Structure 1
């Protein structure tokens, strides 16, 4: 699991991970899109003769990675993350954002093992704080002040 927009180094790691997964004879399952970690890992697995399954958010297969052999078109949007997690024996999370965090949380909630590969949680919320979407407080009084500021905008 991982983000659609990632660095070249993260994509290279995802490719190598996919290659190694295929080398073990395991099936690689991910979000199936032609973007970021998903595409790189699928390419690595496919290039090494592995089986790739993509759980896609829409019904059309738009943005389908050409390296996915078995596409599952869900029409579920982000709801597909539940399928991704509950179908996996182990969830490996690479660089990503809110979608990847939701998959990690689902995996932990459902007692699935999670491996975080170069996943830096520190700073993950910074972009949401910068836009004003996320507010971090320490006390109930600060929570009320933040709520008031949001509601009064």
Structure 2
């Protein structure tokens, strides 16, 4: 019932509740929101209409089903804090590329750390990813054992 209450709270408090707005307000996935709306209609008897609004659909609650007039549940819904995650939107190709490069480097550092190598100290942030890769390949290709590497 946790998701159902969050979705209902978003539907009653958002100005134009549609799937994307509910996802943004609650942090629940789009598929889960759609599943919850279907469950509210099928299991709890709510009459939720989908009205076309431009390219999306807006939800409207016409009848509260098992909640009768809806007054009792609405007071509880108003007390629920919506998550409203603060996600920074990455819109340009350059921002996306920089973000993915950062994630790749973090994953690389973590995977080498888990393998017992401390290459993070070897990385030079002034170099681009390919230059760092070449530097690490040169350094570690000449090493026959981990003991020899530690002697350096």
> Is TM more than 0.5 here?
no
TM-score for both structures, normalised by structure 1: 0.27
Of structures 1 and 2, the larger Rg is shown by 2
- The structure carrying a bigger helix percent of its residues is 2
TM-score by length of 2: 0.27
